[in-house]
Amino acid sequence: MSRASLTLCLTMVLGGAALLALLNLVVPAGSALHVPTYTVSLFGKYLSYAMLAVAVDLVWGFAGILSLGHAAFFALGGYAMGMYLMRQIGTRGVYGNAILPDFMVFLNWKSLPWYWQGFDHPAFAIVMVLVVPGLLALVFGWLAFRSRVTGVYLSIITQALTYALLLAFFRNDMGFGGNNGLTDFKDMFGIPLHADATRDGLLVATAIFLALELLIARYVVTSRFGKVLIAVRDAESRTRFLGYRPEAYKLFVFVLSAVMAGVGGALYVPQVGIINPSEFSPANSIEAVIWVAVGGRGTLVGAVLGAVLVNLGKTFFTGALPELWLFALGAVFIMVTLVLPGGLLGLARRRAPRAVPAAPAPEPAE
């Protein structure tokens, strides 16, 4: 990943977000240049997806871990934020209960479950946004990498993980709103959530966090640590024989990536206004992988590009030609893997000698 493309990407993300926010806030509603708040939130959503994509690229592109459950970390971060936002509703809910969210009153719960305690404090919620996905990734990754579960096996069990969480969060007894999830938020840090300025602020905040995430990820992969990581991706056994501990490297980057995904989820929820169990569905995680593949695996910038482009396409198709969206998405999956293994950035850089190295995976069962 060249410094130039990163700079370009950061400029576009931050500048674009600031421009959209300004056009929404300053330009009067009648003007041709006015950007509706809907569009602001839409791009905010894309950028939080881009945060997920960068997180996926970090593990897949640089450590060779194809996680098909990364949306689970995204959703967990989202739920942590959603719980804070639920508590902020206070007596403005349908049932007007100061302590219990509406769905708990509806389910006839008498008191707040222990795991909801503390979520009325924003600082606690923010810590949880980082800790919950990170902890899950730590436990899961520790178990998986220690016993050298790799390749497709790892992909399949990450998928099973998010599937199990999907089923769990669908249950009303879990205390996370069941099927409907958490919604009907009113305000955030004391600021009304539905105000235009809040939306603009959230978009800019997401852009800033995405930029930070890109910088951190770039720092990690270009450091000495990153070199070892790439060695693990390309030849894990060889790296181990050289005296490194691949599982430690993988675990660190997996946890880092999960935390990043969680932050993305936490920024996603206030902009979309709802978090429900469908965010855990395995299809979402796989879609996040295809964003990365479209942009170009192992480039970080490509992940942002892919996430924004594919989701722009999704918004267009599901609005204009809903029948065709899955055909288009399916075709993108197939075309990217068959004819565009380096993604769009790989295409743009085909002349350059340092193309994206495709992991030389050995043929199984031979």
Partner 1 sequence: MNLIRVLLLMFALCPFAAQAQDDPFAGLAGNYEAIRHAVEALAVSGNPNAAATVAALQAGTLFAAPDQSLWIRQGDTLTNARTGVTGTPEGDLRRVRVNNAVRRAIEEATGALTLFAPVPAKRIKAAADLFAQHDAAMLPMLERALAKETDPAVRGAIEQAYAAALLAAGVAPVTDRLAAIDVLRRRGDLDASNLLASLTNQPPQVAAAAARAVAAIARVQRLWALAQGVFYGLSLGSVLLLAAAGLAITFGVMGVINMAHGEMVMLGAYTTFLVQQAIGAYAPALAGAGVVLAVPAAFVVAGAVGIAVERLLIRFLYGRPLETLLATWGLSLALQQAVRSIFGASNRDVTSPGWMSGAAQWGGLTITFNRLYIIVFAALVVAALMAVLRFTPLGLRMRAVTQNRRMAAAMGIRTPWIDALTFGLGSGVAGMAGVALSQIDNVSPNLGQGYIIDSFMVVVFGGVGNLWGTLVSALTLGIVNKFLEPVAGAVLAKIFVLVLLILFIQRKPRGLFPLKGRAVEA
Q: For residues 151 and 313, which CB has a smaller minimum distance to partner 1 in the complex?
A: 151
Closest CA to 105 of 118, 89, 121, 124: 89
Q: Indicate whether 321 belongs to the interface with partner 1 (CB under 8 A).
A: no
Q: Indicate whether 52 belongs to the interface with partner 1 (CB under 8 A).
A: no
Size of the site for partner 1 (CB under 8 A): 52
Those residues whose C-beta lies under 8 Å from the C-beta of residue 135, and which sit 6 or more positions away, are none
Q: Indicate whether 115 belongs to the interface with partner 1 (CB under 8 A).
A: no
Q: Indicate whether 338 belongs to the interface with partner 1 (CB under 8 A).
A: yes
* SS3 label, residue 275: strand
**Among 30, 147, 224, 320, which residue sits at the site for partner 1 (rule: CB under 8 A)?**
147
Stretch that binds partner 1, among 10-18, 118-126, 189-197, 285-293 (CB under 8 A): 285-293
CA distances from 158 to 141, 269, 335, 346, 351 (A): 10, 23, 25, 27, 36
> Which run of H or E residues covers position 183?
strand 182-183
Q: Indicate whether 66 belongs to the interface with partner 1 (CB under 8 A).
A: yes
Q: Indicate whether 286 belongs to the interface with partner 1 (CB under 8 A).
A: yes
State the minimum distance, in angstroms, from the CB of residue 98 to partner 1: 31
| Burial class of residue 355 (count of CB atoms within 10 Å of its CB; 0-12, 13-18, 19+) | middle
State the minimum distance, in angstroms, from the CB of residue 163 to partner 1: 5
Stretch that binds partner 1, among 31-39, 164-172, 206-214, 216-224 (CB under 8 A): 164-172
CA distances from 299 to 18, 71, 179, 330 (A): 24, 20, 37, 23
Return d(Cα 248, Cα 246) in angstroms, integer: 5
Q: Indicate whether 191 belongs to the interface with partner 1 (CB under 8 A).
A: no
Closest CA to 40 of 53, 23, 15: 23
> Which run of H or E residues covers position 12?
helix 3-25
State the minimum distance, in angstroms, from the CB of residue 265 to partner 1: 21
Q: Indicate whether 347 belongs to the interface with partner 1 (CB under 8 A).
A: no
**Among 332, 344, 345, 356, which residue sits at the site for partner 1 (rule: CB under 8 A)?**
332
The residues that touch partner 1, with contacts defined as CB under 8 A, are: 66, 68, 140, 143-144, 146-149, 151-153, 155-157, 159-161, 163-164, 167-168, 170-171, 282-283, 286, 289-290, 293, 323, 325-327, 329-334, 336-338, 341, 358-359, 361-366
